[in-house]
Chains A and B, each alone.
Chain A
Amino acid sequence: MLLSTSLLFLMLSAWAQRTVTGQVTSSDDGSAIPGVNVVLKGTTSGTITDFDGNYRLEVPEAGGTLVFTFIGLLSQQTVIGSRSIIDVSMDSDLAELDEIVVTGYGTQEKKEVTSAVTSVKAKDFNRGMVNNPVQLIQGKVGGLTVVKPGGDPNGNYTLRLRGVSTFGANASPLIVIDGVIGGSLNTVDPNDIASMDVLKDGSAAAIYGSRGSAGVIIITTKTGKIGKATVEYNGSIAFENVANSIEFMDAAEYRALPGAVDLGSTTDWLDEVTDTGVSQIHNVSLSGGTESTTYRASVNVRDVTGVGINSGYDQINTRLNLTQKALNDRMKINVNLSLTSKDSEYGFKESFRYAIAGNPTLPVRQDANANGVTAGPETGGYAERDIYDFYNPVSISEQNINNGTDLRLLGSAKIDYDFSDFVDGLSAAVFFSEQRQTDERGQYYAKTSKFVGAGPNGNGGRSFQGQENKLFETTFNYNKVIGGTDLTFLAGYSYQEFFNEGFSMSGSDFLTDAFTYNNMGASLDFPNGLGSVSSYANSNKLIAFFGRVNLNFSDNYFVSASVRQEGSSRFGADNKWGMFPAVSAGVNLDNILNISGVDQLKLRASFGITGAQPGESYLSLRRYGPSGSFYYGGAYVPSYGPQSNPNPDLKWEEKAEIDFGVDFSVMNGKLSGSFDWYKRTTSDLLFLIDVPVPPNLYSQTWKNVGEMTNTGIEITLNYDVVNNGTFSYSTGLNFATFKTIIDKLEVSPLYQGAMGAPGQSATRLSRVVVGEELGQIWLPVYDKPDPATGSPLMKDLNGDGVDCACNEDRALAGNGLPDFTVGWNNSLSFGNFDLNIFFRGAFGHDILNSYRGFYENYGGTEIANWNIVKGPGLDPELKGALVNDTHVEAGDFIKLDNATLGYTLPIGDNNVGFRNMRIFLSIQNAFVLTGYSGIDPEVRYIDIEGNNALAPGIERRNTYFTTRTVSAGINIGF
């Protein structure tokens, strides 16, 4: 090689030469681009641009053609002619980036994709105050629902892909961050994300085998580009206010009630427990690179304050991405490192509950006992009432603390080696990653807080949880073109180890509140034997072998087949291994048939099997542990007994999914879209289910209990209405339907969820029954108030003459799961202004409004102790609380989720060196159109009381109020 170059050089130098110089700049912003390859076409003569984008090249006297190439930019050719200075402006190759779809263990061009995959790029992300990566694609991907009922800044998002895919196993899509399987969303700042790719169907997800059943979301972070170093700054400030609570009586209305307990004050509890939340976000990133090394580093700071007093968090996240080539560019080493530290004030959702249920004539503070109010130094000056189930909501939030510190560390390294000189088309990679999460928590309930603290004379708790996720993978890639067929092979091995550990302590009886949770040794509970201390550790492993082949027959026909043989330590000895195959195919009809006016018409079909493992380890083993103490020989000694019913037969939950899809583009790309129909059958559903006692020791065991089928369609449409240079308008719509039927169930019907105290703990709320849809809200049917007492009377449905207060005497009151969801995006730009308006809605789901089930009546107890909710069913004749079908309401809603107006400053050339500057104003949750009378009509996939996926559609009393956020920000690049 060296020899031949030298020869060439000698030969060339024999000819007449002249010099061409010039500068290469970006057409985007005019900035110089270093590292651009400049080659004289047809020769090996070439150079690269320097740091300022300048180049100098000897060319033959006769000239020729210069070829400029650079990754991420469109290649460009220029005939030299007689010029000696040739400046070039290069366009970025947006189209190319757009057409790349990230799939498991690789990327594909969009035209080659044969399964249902939706790729969302940064430019299409949601805007405004986005604190969690999943907010970026909320509503953007048909079939993926992302919900967080209420406006809790520390709340978690619930993700469901194509509805509910499982009962008890992990129902959230698998998150893969830059190759790290099971990466934590908290390790990534939304500003650092380049794209999110959602693998929806079974064939796409099957390469992730055991954890692909709920779909896969692949997050790719931004990387440095070869070229001039750039700095980006994004900053915003947001103001958040309560958008919606629930209608309840004010002091005047309450006083007018018969039996009202007038405590002499007029208090707006809602106002007392909330405040405007002011939040700031700052992101700075540096990036750049040379031919051999690229880098990107970023720092993200978030200071978020929720509307609930004393709730919010401070977070700092840093990320470093380095890529370096070595060994004559045959080796590529990529290192990713991310660190997140988050200090949270969780606050107390109970303060919302008691703000709604609190007597509006109770003062917030009072000096001494009077009027049936307990107050004074022993309550911290807050007004309390010695009744059941009421605590001064301001006292809850102000006197007690509930804090946490979370650390997230994610490091990964990948070495790619190109074996092309050994075997053409062969490359291999080794990947290693480690993620560590530590969550520290501290709570303290003051001696003067009736809520928890006063009874035990102050109560504190500390806990720590650590999670470790280590992944080691090797992969081989092999490309080969045989005739017109392009073959791509992938083979790999994956070893992943998880380790969890935790420690917690809680104790009461403190001399002073001064320590809060920082001096737990001061709790007298420990010397008195009443404190509690615990620790635990557990681990599990996943080992897999996988392979895939992709075939591309002359860009017309595509076939992909894969298999993953995966073992999990969590199953019994004979059931550890599972096999997850997939096959998919696509045909580009537009190429074959050449239909006029059709730019793309691809038909797809796929089939894939994915799996799910239980959320706990050791379920197949008989384990012993302490189970209290017993009296032996005059003293207490520990009792040891089994911890659960072991199930050595526990095996993989499997989901088989078929998907048929069409991707199309017509009118020169103005109208494009896709359509998918799927049917997924999940068998051997894992669930903690009732078992007979005897022979079992405990009444529930983790078992494979049943089968269910989901069907649905997904439609995505994009239409560029106008684009004339100065004004453009494009609109996009996605629509998805869901239906889940239970096919088999070991115990049917299953009754789930319970209304709760006071007085309704035994009332079940949901039913799961074979042959019918999942998500049933199953309740007594309201008849009328008892003419004598005003108690709510229920209808006798089973005809035995009485309402038996049993599950049989009840009926279907609604379904907590949606029938369909809609996302509608509108992007407009006019000159330097851009406007984005995004609507999101869910339809067909019902919600049980728990507040109404407790407080929407004129019962003597309700009036004397609490406040009355002014729901649609309030009836002066009704004097008692009993949850029933009338408390279930349609949850259909459509909301203006986000509207953002941006203005790009025409800074042009400037001496300061700014490349771009944009300011924006954004509003989130601007308005909601719904008939629902509760706090938030969002779909409730999980019952937060009991964390139960089989009791969806329940709005519990501890729901954080919804919020509306207005934010303003600036993006600067230089």
Chain B
Amino acid sequence: MKNILDKKFYVMLLGLLFFAPACTDLEEELYSDVTDENFFQTDDEFISALGGAYSSFYGIGNHSNLWSSNELSSDELVVTHKGGDWYDGGILLALHDHTWTPDNGFFNNTWGFLYGGINTCNRLIAQFGALESENSAAYVNELRAIRAIFYMWAMDAFGNIPLVVGFSDDVPKNDANFQTGRTAVYNFVASELTEVVTTLDAQVGGNAYARVNQATAYAALAKLYLNAEVYTGTPKWTEAKAAVDAIEAFGSYSLAGDYKSNFSIENSGSTENIFVVPYDKVFAGGFNWVMMTLAYPSANVFELTEQPWNGYSTVEEFYNSYIDTVNNPGPVVAQWRGLAEFDPAGDLKTPNGRGTNDLRISNFLVGPQLTPAGTIAEDPAFDADDPDGTGLNFTPAINEIQPNGHRQAGARIGKYAYEQGGTANMSNDFVVFRWGDMKLVRAEANHRLGNSAAALAEVNEIRARAGVTAFTVLTDENLLAERGREMFAELSRRQDLIRFGKFTEGAAWWAKESSDAKYNVFPIPQPQIDVNSSLTQNPGY
């Protein structure tokens, strides 16, 4: 009797133990992420997905990205090697004097920014395209226009690039045709923008603010055609002019009375800005110029929450292009806070002892930097051989590019107003396309097409707004210089110099000699070549 009980008990116990291993389910359970299975369910979720494409633009205001690569390789901006600071393996000096190599990190960052945007659009076009929703067609066209803008920049920067329009995780191996050539990408951008432009939102401002609307697509086309000869060998001046005309036809854009209002902290009301990246220190960070250009003690001038990096300053020659002692010898006017009042009599505190009437001098911060208390910010790290002492004073002159560039040397970027008490992330909206630029595009097209009077008139509109006297004649030289003054730090100078043949061969500026024509395009980033057997390096690198 007892044995039977034992046996039953044992069999039951063993059975329990034996069947315990029933669970073999290894599905992953998610808590703080969503997947394809539970996303794209509501209208709001579709909109947020579309936002992925727009968020891709936020890299444009970062250090060592598309904007930095373009500006530092031009004659506008330089990051000097300041003693122990900013050497970084020489990559910044190489950008300035055109000795860069494919492993310079700026290029891989730029590539990642551009193709990150392109891939996001490819993904969303595939995902939205698969949905049978009323809105999805409109979204797809908007995404195609965004993708075209990223492709335009990528083709401009790197030349011969892969044209990928589908969405997959596959990498073609050893595919010699992976890179399609610059012309093919140019053609793709032109046809995509042309095809979708009329389907985009015609509205200007309002709900279309910071969205790729029709005017944005035309502006992109204008910039594309402006440089068509560089990209394909065939100029498209007429098309460039037509694109600007199409923007004008909206009747909504005009030159702002005050140039610098386009770049103020609250610049969303500008009548001139066509497409912006709507940065915000709370919602949309990444616009970091305040850190990139200001000096360490500038934190006390602008009461910043973080210490700036003291990197970017203006090449003196470029700064001097605003100074016209013959035609516009006005005094230097006070700009925004932080730029001290100048002594009209002109002592050491005035840059080079000269002034200018060009209001666009507001593109820079120069001179002694005053704290809110009205005293000069003290800079304990001033260089012992800096002639103007410990007070923080940005002088346009830069003693040397390396190894001991003075910490306070060089006019700083003042284009976008800095917020008192600001953070590392600026709230100004970054201007990608604006009407002032478009007018100069049309002027240049007219100039090239021989319509000199129209060209001159339009350039002089820009000059008049800047408070400087009109040109009597338009030449390649003064047109390029005018574009430089107007478009400083607006992702334009490298393109302009290349288009005018003033970037590499035969072109020299401070601490940069004539360079090989291969530098007209950036190299395909080495890290990309290392991991992708289908990529071929650009010629000469």
Q: Which A positions have Cβ atoms within 8 angstroms of B?
A: 259, 261, 369, 372-374, 385-388, 417, 419, 421-422, 428, 430, 455-457, 472, 474, 476, 493, 495, 501, 508, 528-530, 535-541, 543, 545, 567-570, 576, 617-618, 621-625, 627-634, 636-643, 645-646, 689-699, 746-747, 757-763, 786, 789, 791, 802, 804-807, 854, 859-862, 864-865, 879-882
Contact between B14 and A428, CB atoms less than 8 A apart: yes
Known contacts A372-B380, A422-B6, A865-B84; decide if A631 and B13 are in contact (CB<8 Å): no
B132 interface residue per 8 A CB criterion: no
Question: What residue in chain A is nearest B114 (Cβ atoms)?
Answer: A693
- Which B residues are in CB contact (< 8 Å) with A762? 88-89, 91, 105
Contact between B33 and A569, CB atoms less than 8 A apart: no
Q: Can you show 13 pairs from A to B with CB atoms below 8 A apart?
A: A386-B296, A386-B299, A495-B21, A567-B24, A621-B35, A625-B34, A634-B207, A695-B119, A697-B123, A762-B105, A763-B88, A791-B403, A861-B84
- Which A residues are in CB contact (< 8 Å) with B120? 641, 697
Q: How far is the CA of A521 from the CA of B91 in the complex (A)?
A: 44
Contact of A630 among B44, B51, B111, B404 (CB under 8 A): B51
CB within 8 Å of A: which B200-230 residues: 206-207, 209-211
Shortest distance in angstroms between A835's beta carbon and chain B's nearest beta carbon? 51
Contact between B85 and A430, CB atoms less than 8 A apart: no
Contact between A864 and B381, CB atoms less than 8 A apart: yes
Shortest distance in angstroms between B64's beta carbon and chain A's nearest beta carbon? 9
Contact of B35 among A622, A628, A807 (CB under 8 A): A622
Shortest distance in angstroms between B444's beta carbon and chain A's nearest beta carbon? 31
Please name 8 further chain A to chain B contacts, defined as beta carbons within 8 Å, in addition to the given A386-B378, A495-B23, A569-B26, sorted by A numbering.
Answer: A385-B381, A430-B20, A474-B21, A624-B33, A639-B52, A639-B54, A761-B88, A854-B84
B313 interface residue per 8 A CB criterion: no
B484 interface residue per 8 A CB criterion: no
Contact of B48 among A421, A640, A697 (CB under 8 A): A640
Which among A422, A456, A536, A692 has the highest number of chain B CB atoms within 10 Å?
A692
Closest 9 CB pairs of A and B: A861-B83, A639-B51, A805-B90, A493-B21, A641-B52, A537-B31, A692-B532, A529-B282, A630-B54
- Which A residues are in CB contact (< 8 Å) with B35? 621-624
Known contacts A428-B14, A457-B305, A789-B403; decide if A699 and B26 are in contact (CB<8 Å): no
Contact between B49 and A640, CB atoms less than 8 A apart: yes
Question: What residue in chain A is nearest B38 (Cβ atoms)?
Answer: A624
Contact of A476 among B17, B27, B206, B296 (CB under 8 A): B17
Contact between B87 and A419, CB atoms less than 8 A apart: no
- Which B residues are in CB contact (< 8 Å) with A369? 378
Contact between A536 and B31, CB atoms less than 8 A apart: yes
Contact between B527 and A859, CB atoms less than 8 A apart: no
Contact between A636 and B284, CB atoms less than 8 A apart: yes
Contact between B169 and A696, CB atoms less than 8 A apart: yes
- Which B residues are in CB contact (< 8 Å) with A763? 88-89
Shortest distance in angstroms between B146's beta carbon and chain A's nearest beta carbon? 11
Q: How far is the CA of A495 from the CA of B299 in the complex (A)?
A: 56
Q: How far is the CA of A804 from the CA of B45 in the complex (A)?
A: 49
Q: How far is the CA of A567 from the CA of B24 in the complex (A)?
A: 8
Contact between A388 and B85, CB atoms less than 8 A apart: yes
Question: What residue in chain B is nearest A258 (Cβ atoms)?
Answer: B384
B477 interface residue per 8 A CB criterion: no
Contact between B89 and A640, CB atoms less than 8 A apart: no
Question: What residue in chain B is nearest A764 (Cβ atoms)?
Answer: B89
Shortest distance in angstroms between B517's beta carbon and chain A's nearest beta carbon? 19
Contact between A421 and B6, CB atoms less than 8 A apart: yes
- Which B residues are in CB contact (< 8 Å) with A691? 171, 531
Known contacts A693-B119, A696-B119, A860-B383; decide if A618 and B30 are in contact (CB<8 Å): yes
- Which B residues are in CB contact (< 8 Å) with A543? 23-26
- Which B residues are in CB contact (< 8 Å) with A388? 85, 296, 307, 310, 381
Contact between A261 and B380, CB atoms less than 8 A apart: yes
Contact between A634 and B284, CB atoms less than 8 A apart: no
Question: What residue in chain A is nearest B52 (Cβ atoms)?
Answer: A641
B537 interface residue per 8 A CB criterion: no
Contact of A880 among B84, B115, B167, B170 (CB under 8 A): B84
- Which B residues are in CB contact (< 8 Å) with A569? 26-28
Contact between A759 and B81, CB atoms less than 8 A apart: yes
Contact of B14 among A419, A421, A642, A746 (CB under 8 A): A419
Contact between A536 and B284, CB atoms less than 8 A apart: no
- Which A residues are in CB contact (< 8 Å) with B31? 501, 536-539
B280 interface residue per 8 A CB criterion: yes
Shortest distance in angstroms between B156's beta carbon and chain A's nearest beta carbon? 18
Shortest distance in angstroms between B284's beta carbon and chain A's nearest beta carbon? 5
- Which B residues are in CB contact (< 8 Å) with A537? 31-32
Shortest distance in angstroms between A61's beta carbon and chain B's nearest beta carbon? 38
B192 interface residue per 8 A CB criterion: no
Q: How far is the CA of A386 from the CA of B408 in the complex (A)?
A: 14
Contact between B32 and A535, CB atoms less than 8 A apart: yes
Q: How far is the CA of A865 from the CA of B30 in the complex (A)?
A: 50
Contact between A632 and B378, CB atoms less than 8 A apart: no
B36 interface residue per 8 A CB criterion: yes
Shortest distance in angstroms between B391's beta carbon and chain A's nearest beta carbon? 11
Known contacts A422-B10, A629-B283; decide if A697 and B531 are in contact (CB<8 Å): no
Question: What residue in chain B is nearest A494 (Cβ atoms)?
Answer: B21
Contact of B115 among A538, A694, A760, A879 (CB under 8 A): A694
Which among B6, B90, B278 has the highest number of chain A CB atoms within 10 Å?
B90
- Which B residues are in CB contact (< 8 Å) with A646? 169
Shortest distance in angstroms between B419's beta carbon and chain A's nearest beta carbon? 12
Contact between B7 and A634, CB atoms less than 8 A apart: no
Contact of B384 among A501, A692, A864 (CB under 8 A): A864
Known contacts A455-B307, A640-B51, A861-B82; decide if A759 and B87 are in contact (CB<8 Å): yes
